[in-house]
Amino acid sequence: MAKSMYLLWGSGSCPCWRIMITLEEKKLQGYKQKLLSFEKEEHKSKEVLEINPRGQLPTFKHGDDIINESTGACLYLENQFKSQGNKLIPDNPAEQALMYQRMMEGLTLYEKLNLVAFYDFYAPEGERHDSALKRNKDNLVTELQLWESYLENVGRYLAGGFSLADVVVFPSLAYAFRYGLSAGRYPKLAKYYSLLKDRPSIKATWPPKWFQIEQRSESLKDI
Amino acid sequence: MAKSMYLLWGSGSCPCWRIMITLEEKKLQGYKQKLLSFEKEEHKSKEVLEINPRGQLPTFKHGDDIINESTGACLYLENQFKSQGNKLIPDNPAEQALMYQRMMEGLTLYEKLNLVAFYDFYAPEGERHDSALKRNKDNLVTELQLWESYLENVGRYLAGGFSLADVVVFPSLAYAFRYGLSAGRYPKLAKYYSLLKDRPSIKATWPPKWFQIEQRSESLKDI
């Protein structure tokens, strides 16, 4: 089945990483793939736009079926390959409710990280305000403290066993620590990150450009 | 089962409406509910915060399970009550891929609508720029044109039969037309809106405050 899949992706993109972790977990290795460069604007290339009119990565096909939205693709892959690889949506109602809740909240976490780490990208010169950046930072602190509290009473993962909640949330946290987030101020998040980073599906899909030391950033160190 | 459910909601909120449509479609009428007022800040009340630390509506419980994220709640309800009421996730792989794709894209549509209709809410006085509002409007036009193109080749619904894609997207379109969106410029969206607005699950959950004529707005009329 994996041979009929095609993923166009960018290194360091959390949404791309979510699909790649899911493909590993579902034992769908061997899919066709192409690494594109955001810097060279390859996500706006003809090949991408023909599959994905939004010109974004990931861009993903399974046979003729197109599912570019990363969370949608993870849900689709789990549903299509339920009995293959690891189960990523728990059957138990309480765990399932928590899984969907954290999975969707993970999109809010990602958005709030972006609004700080990439503030200058979202607000062009002439529209930037210290007050707005400060508000974004305050919102991110509140968000991260909420996730600290979520991790207070759970085990290793966010909702029972490893699930789509972890698939969606982990890349954002990896990116937060990569961008300088303090392990001291967010010890539960740091522990979660450190426990999951060596999981085979995650190691196998680690963003290649993160192996280059010069790609590190400190834009979240004061959060 | 519905008797063990509790929904705290606000009138006119698209995320709340999504859950309410899903509950109707799954024949889960008779759930406990409370209509709260955003104007009176009741979404920040103790009762809400105890269930939902984000202080947002919807706030939703099923027994002891909490699932406040609207799209997550819709997925949860469909999965827990698969064989009850209408099926909202198609089995057919092509339709299922399209369903997840449009459902998740629906969240982008909603966000882009908000960034125009509620620009003054998101950008406090002193941080507002005509250039930013114009960019938000241009992005919204592009987004709506994309949805026009999506509706070009489908039948009545977004992905096969009525599905969670429609559940997530319809409230946003209803709100867009309520806020003055031009049916002339977006004829496919207008036709979709007009076909779905009389669906029993949608009529039964129409936002009560929308029956009051003074609640209309024209903030999207030039889009």
> Structurally, how many domains does chain A consist of?
2
Whether B105 maps to a domain, the answer reads yes
Whole-angstrom distance, CA of residue B87 vs CA of residue B82 = 7
Same-domain pairing of B102 and B126? yes
Which residue, of A33, A58, A80, is where some domain finishes? A80
Which residue, of B14, B47, B80, is where some domain finishes? B80
Residues of A in contact with B79 (CB under 8 A): 89, 96
> CA dist B70 to A67, A105, A113, A188, A190, Å?
21, 10, 21, 27, 29
Peptide bond into B58 cis (omega under 30): yes
Same-domain pairing of A12 and A68? yes
Q: Which residues contact B199 (CB under 8 A, 6 or more apart)?
A: B162
HSE-CB at A101 with a 13 A cutoff on CA atoms is: 24
| Residue B154 reports pLDDT greater than 90 | no
**Which has the higher per-residue pLDDT, B108 or A214?**
B108
Whether A26 maps to a domain, the answer reads yes
Same-domain pairing of A180 and A104? yes
Whether A210 maps to a domain, the answer reads yes
Mean pLDDT, chain A, integer? 95
Whether A223 maps to a domain, the answer reads no
Residue of A69, A94, A103 with shortest CB distance to B100: A69
Whether A88 maps to a domain, the answer reads no
What pLDDT, on a 0 to 100 scale, did the predictor assign at position B214? 63
Same-domain pairing of B104 and B205? yes
Nearest residue to A83 (alpha-carbon basis) of A26, A45, A142 = A26
Other C-beta atoms closer than 10 Å to the C-beta of A147 total: 22
SS3 readout for B64-131: CEECCCHHHHHHHHHHHCCCCCCCCCCCCHHHHHHHHHHHHHHHHHHHHHHHHHCHHHHCCCCCCCHH
Alpha-carbon dihedral sign for residues A37, A38, A40, A43: positive
As given in the structure block, the two tokens for residue B113 are 């609508």
CB contact under 8 A, A72 and B107: no
What pLDDT, on a 0 to 100 scale, did the predictor assign at position A214? 63
* Phi, psi (degrees; rounded to nearest 5) at A61: -125, 145
Same-domain pairing of A120 and A200? yes
Same-domain pairing of B100 and B187? yes
Same-domain pairing of A201 and A152? yes
Which residue, of B48, B80, B112, is where some domain finishes? B80
What pLDDT, on a 0 to 100 scale, did the predictor assign at position B213? 66
CATH of the domain at B7: 3.40.30.10
CATH of the domain at A113: 1.20.1050.10
**pLDDT tens across B13-43, in order?**
999 999 999 999 999 999 999 999 999 999 9
**pLDDT tens across A13-40, in order?**
999 999 999 999 999 999 999 999 999 9
Residue of B69, B94, B96 with shortest CB distance to A105: B69
Read off the pLDDT of each residue in A157-184 and give the average, rounded to a whole number: 96
Same-domain pairing of A116 and A200? yes
Same-domain pairing of A105 and A66? no
Whether A220 maps to a domain, the answer reads no
Residues of A in contact with B129 (CB under 8 A): 126-127
Same-domain pairing of A201 and A107? yes
Same-domain pairing of B51 and B115? no
**pLDDT tens across A189-211, in order?**
999 999 999 999 999 999 998 88
What range defines the domain where residue B48 resides? 2-80
Whether B220 maps to a domain, the answer reads no
Whether B106 maps to a domain, the answer reads yes
Same-domain pairing of A144 and A211? yes
> CA dist A223 to A140, A186, B122, B181, Å?
8, 10, 22, 40
CB contact under 8 A, B96 and A79: yes
CB contact under 8 A, B105 and A64: no
Q: Which residues contact B10 (CB under 8 A, 6 or more apart)?
A: B16, B35, B36, B37, B38, B43, B57
CB contact under 8 A, A100 and B76: yes
